[in-house]
Amino acid sequence: MDYDTAKLEETVLALLGVFEFENGRVWKRYDFAVMEVLHEKGYISNPRGRTESIQLTETGMALAKEFAKKHFGQSSDVPGRP
């Protein structure tokens, strides 16, 4: 699937704004508390540890793809949109 890059850029910038601290500084990784909640809900593997990545669970993958299509899909890919 092709994604609307303008929507992706806007959303990443919005997330950076959410996690901003010290007058414009932002960590490049996702907030640990959010990752912990996603793990507790069973959507991702345990985010603790030295690895730089996590694994989406089957449920997490399905939701991630659904949300990606909903929020970033091209208009023709989203049901109900012309």
Q: How does pLDDT run across 8-50, given as a tens digit for each residue?
A: 999 999 999 999 999 999 998 888 999 999 999 999 999 998 9
DSSP 14-79: HHHHHT-BTTTB--SSPPHHHHHHHHHTTSB----SS-S---B-HHHHHHHHHHHHHHHB-GGGST
Cα gap 53→30, rounded to integer Å: 11
pTM: 0.78
Task: Name the 3-class secondary structure at 3.
Answer: strand
Question: What's residue 46's pLDDT?
Answer: 95
- Rounded CA separation 62/43 (Å): 9
Q: Can you give the pLDDT at residue 77? A: 55
On the question of pLDDT at 81 being above 60, the answer is no
